[in-house]
Structure 1
Amino acid sequence: MSGDVADAPGGADRADRADRGVDPRDVDAVSRQLGRPARGVVAVAHRCPCDLPDVVETAPRLDDGTPFPTTYYLTCPRAVAAVSTLEASGLMREMTQRLRQDADLAARYRAAHEDYLRRRDVLGDVPEIEGVSAGGMPARVKCLHVLVAHALAAGPGTNPLGDEALAALEERGLGHWWGAGPCVSPAAST
């Protein structure tokens, strides 16, 4: 997920983001988490227990006109690293295989895809990405970062494989990415 278009340089200025209801301190924190200016942030979708954003909701069309299907974007570098460990373990391949064999899981994953599309549609209509969610949904698992971000943003029971990835993080001792304190220093009040 890191390196996607949403975290490339450029985008709306602070005042524009504030007009959309995003606290500039949160945008600052996300930019520091990403190591570059955040783009398209419309809301903090989930907060880490350290009170910093760890998932942001991103506009389906960035300010420069680029279509962007990744509505829920995992921003905390420690969370990203933990999920990357799961990806490197082959978990995505195992999950994709299970989708082919388990009709109930496949139906719940398709429902997660539909939920993702509904939530993005509220943010705007972008014909170029119509019907395309993220993370490989609904037929495969391509990016656990997106599935975890969706699960954190939407809550338990919405994305079954995102929930499974969060449980796998717990099982492997990686589920408390905030345990060492905030990943970046909180921004000073403006």
Structure 2
Amino acid sequence: MTTHLPHGFGVTAETLAPTELDIQVLSAQLGRKVRDVAEIPARCVCGNPLVAATAPRLSNGTPFPTVFYLAHPVITAAASRLEAEGAMYAMTDEIAADEAMAEAYRAAHENYLAERERIRVATNTGEVPEIEGISAGGMPTRVKCLHAVLGHTLSVGRGINPYGDRTLDMISEWWTPEVCHCDPAWRADAVTEA
């Protein structure tokens, strides 16, 4: 049986807080200036961010249900390939046909909501009633975004989100947690700009 990790891949309690370098690397990964990053819940073996966690209400007041935002372009591209192949449809069909899998996915939804609430409290964000009960990726009744379920698995570890775990297995041809696929320019450019 898989156990829940206290934090995602490559993360300890000490490395959850984003540094200025993390923000610069995330901006390079995403090709735009990032904002409102509360935590780095998953890191590459080299230390670069894989996932950014955002408070459930952005600084401009917008509700933001997708707390775990997949940032690494290699992982994002791999999830996009699977989405283009329609992997979500088979997963959604499985939820309808397999009660044990449906229950596991409902539990993943509850975990997502609990993690978002933890981050809301940690960031001193007020209540966000607009997104109450809404998680991400189609949870708990369908799989509509592999980026969201994979970001969840990378952030909380295996054994929580069955479809995030499966997506992680399915992208192993392009990315695995044991091998760095980062562009050295992300850090070099960030250091040069600082």
Structure 1 length as normaliser, TM-score?
0.83
Distance 2:154 2:185 in 1: 20
Deviation at 1:182, TM superposition (A): 2.9
Instruction: Figure out how many residues of one structure are paired with residues of the other and give that number.
Output: 169
Deviation at 1:34, TM superposition (A): 0.8
Deviation at 1:185, TM superposition (A): 2.2
Listed one character per residue, the Cα deviations across residues 57-105 of structure 1 (whole Å, up to 9, x for unaligned) are 1110000000000010000111100110111111000000000000000
Deviation at 1:48, TM superposition (A): 1.3
Distance 1:151 1:134 in 2: 12
> Cα gap change, 1:27/1:61 in structure 2, threshold over 3 Å: closer, same or farther?
same
Listed one character per residue, the Cα deviations across residues 115-155 of structure 1 (whole Å, up to 9, x for unaligned) are 00001112223110000000000000110001001001000
> Cα gap change, 1:175/1:22 in structure 2, threshold over 3 Å: closer, same or farther?
closer
- 1:1-190 superposed matches below 5 A: 21-124=17-120, 125-170=127-172, 173-176=173-176, 179-182=180-183, 184-186=185-187, 187-188=190-191
- Decide whether the 8 Å contact of 1:92 with 1:142 is kept in 2: yes
Deviation at 1:49, TM superposition (A): 1.9
> Cα gap change, 1:37/1:95 in structure 2, threshold over 3 Å: closer, same or farther?
same
> Cα gap change, 1:121/1:168 in structure 2, threshold over 3 Å: closer, same or farther?
same
SS at match of 2:58: coil
- Decide whether the 8 Å contact of 1:57 with 1:72 is kept in 2: yes
- Decide whether the 8 Å contact of 2:17 with 2:40 is kept in 1: no
Task: Look up the equivalent residue of 2:80 and give its one-letter code.
Answer: S
The two structures, once aligned, show a CA RMSD in angstroms of: 1.9
- Decide whether the 8 Å contact of 1:151 with 1:162 is kept in 2: yes
Structure 2 length as normaliser, TM-score?
0.82
Distance 2:91 2:75 in 1: 20
Distance 1:103 1:38 in 2: 39
Listed one character per residue, the Cα deviations across residues 161-188 of structure 1 (whole Å, up to 9, x for unaligned) are 0000011112xx1224855543642132
Larger mean Cα displacement after TM superposition, 29-38 or 100-109: 29-38
- Decide whether the 8 Å contact of 1:31 with 1:38 is kept in 2: yes
- Decide whether the 8 Å contact of 2:153 with 2:161 is kept in 1: yes
- Identical aligned pairs, as a percentage? 45
